[in-house]
Structures are given as structure tokens and as C-alpha cells.
A and B are shown apart, each in its own frame.
Chain A
């Protein structure tokens, strides 16, 4: 990247944050999704409602949580409800606009794997943490935003396991109730799902990134939108607020960095 003002990782978080519109209700996963959602809240979307699956509704953390159930989330929330309530009334009840998730692997239909890498389910090469809240977030949120680092190991043609989908079948346009479009933000680009085929299509490049670079790091045969754009570089304010947030977070967690 020729612009030294910011890193690819910062660009990813900032572009994901720009996707969060004010007054929307976001169900937020830990890590980069949480960083992006809070950056949005601290910049252009002060009235965004952040829900974490630990039951905190309207959380306004001053530092990023290290885990999904940090006390900071409870202390700054409008209300804290039980785990069954958050999944029943608030998520499956259809009150969530955007599900904001990460994953170990994603395929071209925006399906996610957080279960195993390699081997079989019974005898995996690498066992990952598992589903958590994602299968029902992917099913119930009106839109899903995914954030992950771009590589052939993460954007794959064939998932080792489909943990979360939201689609009844790949390339099947029959969606689960509620499931709308999917947006994938990486450190290279933005992909949006085609409403007809559900396939993720390259729709915007980060500055100084080429289509060839994206193709080279993508595990499936990439489709490029006819209306491909280039995202604006980070503004001074976006960078300042993000770095300030991360710096505060680092200090608060005894120097332990927030997991990406």
C-alpha cells in the first residue's frame, strides 16, 4: 500500500464502520466487528443500537470488550437481559437490522465456518470454537455484514464445514425468513451479494488495491461488479477516533490487545 497514513487493517475496520447507519440495530460479534460497530457509534452513527449476545442491549462501551460478556458492556447498556431472552425476543423476534460477524472461513455465498479446519467432523485437523450465536444471527438479521482478513485460506471455494448459512441451499434464492443481503469487508475490498444468486461480487476496492490482487487472494472464481468503485481512504477523523479507541482499550485491558 503506497499510502502510509494507515494500515490495511485500519482500512477494513473503517470501511465496515461506514456501513453502519445511524438508528439501526446491530447484533455485534467480538473482535473487528465490535471495533467497527463502535467506531461507527463514535463517528457518524451516535444513535446506533449495539446488542451483544451476552444480553446487553444499547451497549456504549468506552473501551472495546475483550470478551462478549465484559462488565463494561453491562455497565453502559440501556438494559441487560438473559441469554434466552436476547436470542428469542430480540434476535428471532426480528428486531435486529444488521448481524455483524467474523469467521475463520467464508465461501462465495457468504456462508461461514467456525467449526473445524481440515479432516472430518469426527476427526478434525483443527478444532475451532464452534457455532456460538452465528447460525441464528445469520438466519434472523435482516442483513449480514462479515469482516475478515483476505486470503485464500479464509475466502475459500469449499468450506471445511458450514456452521452458519441462512440459505436453504447454496445458490438457492429461497432464504431463511429475514435474511437479506450479505456484505463482506476485507482488508482489500468490499463484496456484496447478488440478490438473485446470493453470490458475493466484488463491488469496491480499497485505495491502491487492484482487481488482480483481490483475485489472487480469493479462493473462488471472482465475479466483479459492472459498477466497481473505489472506497474513499480513511479521513483524519476516522483514523483519530479508531486509534484513540484502540489505545484506550489497550490500556484498560492491562496491555492485552483485543483479539482480531
Chain B
């Protein structure tokens, strides 16, 4: 049954050191505020899972929250590389990061298997690819009916999944629309679910076939307006492309990155304060 609370309390209740956690979103509705709260609470040794790790995972990796990353594409969409992610892999800073790498089709199938309570996923994948040589979780089986060789990978069942959505109603039913990505599967595959939303509303007013997570599969609903920034929330705000571009410069340099994180995240109490801190910096830049 969904409980309403602030994001700090939800993260502190469910996100413990050493767990497997997925913060999902496929370039849309990225749960940035939740990832930054995990950084603020200084969680360690997390096994991070995400199809498309982007800026918020770069921040979590750079701040030493992660010991392991399972993913299929890591980048700053439309801009380029993730420098903290790269540096962790290339030179083990701030700590060694173990990686487990799959393809998108596979990660999606693994979440589906997790949501379905099945032990593994199958797909027609990885033909001729070197990835199975470096990932013992990618194996091959023969179809018992046709004999065709297919890839098999273990189901994904995170301890906690966090997603961001447009709105929830008073009971905690959650509506997601636009590019819905992998959010429903990632939520249903997990033992516990936190959802941050733009707004809590009286009624979702959604068509019957809309993508809705019923309140009884969600543990906590937290209202965090703008919580997907610099990603976007369809119907609420657009992506902040200028920030995505700026992140490239901030994250390129270790010291600059650490100073930025300290100033805007560690030294702020919550996401609203973080946004205000960014805003203040923008004003300074403009008046300089």
C-alpha cells in the first residue's frame, strides 16, 4: 500500500548500503532527485542497475556510491561521454567499479523476467558479439522445440526500484505517459518501489488502457516537482539541454566535479534547495 512521504524519508527507509537498486527512465522521466538524495545520504557499495546510465548515475558513481554497475548504454544523451563513469572504469576513481554489460533488448527482457517471476530471460541476441565472452551472465540455450540457439540471461530483481512519473492520485495510483520506457517492468521486478511524481492530484483522469502502477505495488510516493531535471516530464517541462551540455565540462575535471557536488548537493537539504542553488549560480554567471 502506497504511503506518502518526503523523499528523504523514503530513501532512508529503503535504500541501504550494499543493495541492488535500479533508478530507471529511458531518457524521459529520469529520477534525478532520488539519485541525488542517495548521494546526500552517502550510501555505499550499491549495485546500480540501469539500461541507460546518464548524468545522475555519473554523479552517483563519481561520489563513490557504487561498487557495481549493470547496464546497456552509458552516456550523456545528445552530448557524449560520461566522464565520471569513464574514469571509474579506466582508472578506478573514486573506487573500482565492476561492470556487467548487456544489450538493451536483453536488459528489457531481464526486467520482464523479473516482473514475471521467471528465473531467466530469452532473446534472439548477441550473434557474433564479444559481449558474452566478458559476461558470464550471458549464456546460450537450445530451444526445446526448434533447436534454435538463443541467448539466456538471469532475471533482474532489484531490491529497490525508483522511478519518476507525472502524477499520482490520493490513493497513490501512479500515471506514467509519453515515453514509458522500462519503468513498469523495473517497478514490478523489484521487491520495493519508490515513485517520485511531479504532482499529487485528485483524479488521474486517465484512459482505461493508460500505463498505471496501482497503489498496492508501490511502497512510497513522494511529490518532487521538477524531480527529473535535466531530463523532462512530458506535459510538465522540457529537457534542459543547456545543462546536459554544461555537465560535460563540470564532470570532465575531478576537482571541479567534487566542488560542484559539494556545493549543490551535499550542502543542500533537498531537491528544491538544489534547484535554488543552481539557479543562484546561473544568476551569478549571467551578471558576471
Contacts and interface: CB of A to CB of B under 8 A. Distances in A.
Interface of A: 30, 53-56, 65-71, 73-74, 80, 82-84, 87-88, 91-92, 111, 115, 121-136, 138-140, 161-169, 176-177, 179, 253-254, 256, 258-259
Contact of B78 (A124, A140, A258): A258
Interface string B65-94: 000000111110111111001100110000
B90 A125 contact: yes
B27 A130 contact: no
18 contacts: A55-B181, A66-B78, A67-B78, A69-B26, A69-B28, A71-B234, A80-B178, A80-B180, A124-B89, A127-B90, A129-B73, A133-B103, A135-B125, A136-B106, A165-B127, A165-B129, A176-B124, A176-B127
A2 B245 CA distance: 35
**4 pairs of A and B residues whose beta carbons are closest in the complex:** A165-B128, A69-B27, A67-B77, A66-B78
Q: What is the interface of chain A mostly: helix, strand, loop, or mixed?
A: loop
B178 A83 contact: no
B105 interface: yes
Contacts of A176: 124, 127-128
B77 A68 contact: yes
Contacts of A82: 180-182, 184-185, 211
A259 B80 contact: yes
A136 B124 contact: yes
B241 to A, nearest CB: 5
B112 A84 contact: yes
Interface in B91-112: 101-106, 108-109, 111-112
Interface of B: 26-28, 51-52, 71-75, 77-82, 85-86, 89-90, 101-106, 108-109, 111-112, 123-131, 134, 178-182, 184-185, 211, 232, 234, 238-239, 241-242, 245
Given A83-B51, A139-B125, A177-B124, A130 B71 contact: yes
Given A71-B234, A135-B103, A84 B127 contact: no
B181 A69 contact: yes
B128 A168 contact: yes
B72 A83 contact: no
A127 B184 CA distance: 30
Contact of B105 (A127, A129, A136, A166): A136
A92 B90 CA distance: 34
Contacts of B185: 82, 84
A106 to B, nearest CB: 14
B105 A135 contact: yes
Contacts of A162: 128-130
Given A126-B90, A135-B131, A70 B124 contact: no
B192 to A, nearest CB: 21
Nearest to A71: B234
B179 A168 contact: no
A140 B150 CA distance: 13
A168 B127 contact: yes
B124 A71 contact: no
A30 B127 CA distance: 23
B103 A134 contact: yes
A169 B129 CA distance: 9
A217 B147 CA distance: 43
Contact of A83 (B75, B129, B181): B181
B78 A259 contact: yes
Give the interface centre of A68, A129, A133, A164 by most chain B CB atoms within 10 Å: A129
A134 B103 CA distance: 8
Nearest to B51: A83
Given A71-B239, A83-B51, A131-B101, 20 more contacts: A67-B78, A74-B28, A80-B178, A82-B184, A84-B185, A87-B105, A121-B134, A126-B90, A127-B90, A130-B72, A135-B103, A135-B127, A136-B103, A136-B123, A139-B127, A140-B124, A165-B128, A166-B127, A259-B78, A259-B79
Contacts of B74: 129-130
A133 B104 CA distance: 5
A92 B124 contact: yes
Contacts of B211: 82
Give the interface centre of A91, A136, A161 by most chain B CB atoms within 10 Å: A136
Nearest to B176: A82
A66 B241 contact: yes
Contacts of A136: 103-106, 123-125
A111 B126 CA distance: 12
